[in-house]
Amino acid sequence: MFALRTFAARAPTTARLPARAVRFNSSSSSSSSSAARVLQLASQAERLSNAEAAVPVLWLVCGGLTYTAWNRLEERSAGANIETLLIKKKKKKKKKKKKKKKKKKKKKKKKKKKKKK
Tens-place pLDDT, residues 49-84: 899 899 999 999 999 999 998 888 776 666 677 777
Q: Does residue 102 sit in helix, strand or coil? A: helix
Query: Is residue 112 in some structural domain?
Result: no
Query: Is residue 62 in some structural domain?
Result: yes
Average pLDDT over every residue of 6-33? 60
Query: Is residue 72 in some structural domain?
Result: yes
pTM over 0.85: no
Number of domain units in the chain: 1
Query: Is residue 77 in some structural domain?
Result: yes
Gyration radius of the chain over CA positions? 37
Question: Domain containing 66: what range?
Answer: 50-105
Query: Is residue 6 in some structural domain?
Result: no
